[in-house]
Amino acid sequence: MRNQLTGLKALIDTQQAQIDNQQSQLHDQQLAIADLQAAAKNFKDGLGTQSGGKGDTGKAFQALDAKIGEVAAACRDFQYAADTVWPAGIPANAPIRAEFKLPADCSLK
């Protein structure tokens, strides 16, 4: 009977060690979850404090569209100037017209 009690005590001790290990792992996981929740909260809180904030997104895209329009207009101006300096229809001008993305056989005007 004493051997049976010793065997049961060893089994109980093993089970208790496993429970303690699982509780420790659970505690570590809870700390990790808390850290992630805090990081997510800090991230969300930081979104509102960035320069410009959420409301300026539309304005930023409008400004970007305006700049794109300016660049497109400048490209056209360069193409018109190149078209004037290196006229179409002259075979010697074909390589430079290709650099300005101009057709070799007709002018833009």
pLDDT digits (tens, 9 = 90+) for 5-25: 788 888 788 888 877 777 777
Which DSSP string corresponds to 38-74? HHHHHHHHHHHHSTTTGGGHHHHHHHHHHHHHHHHHH
Across the chain, mean pLDDT equals 80
**Which of 74, 78, 83, 72 lies closest to 108, judged by CA?**
83
pLDDT at 109 over 70: no
Instruction: Say which residue, 79 or 44, is predicted with more confidence.
Output: 79
Tokens describing residue 20: 């303690």
Residue with tokens 């017209």: 97
pTM, two decimals, is: 0.41
For residues 93 and 86, the answer to whether their CB atoms sit within 8 Å is yes
Instruction: Say which residue, 65 or 46, is predicted with more confidence.
Output: 65
For residues 100 and 79, the answer to whether their CB atoms sit within 8 Å is yes
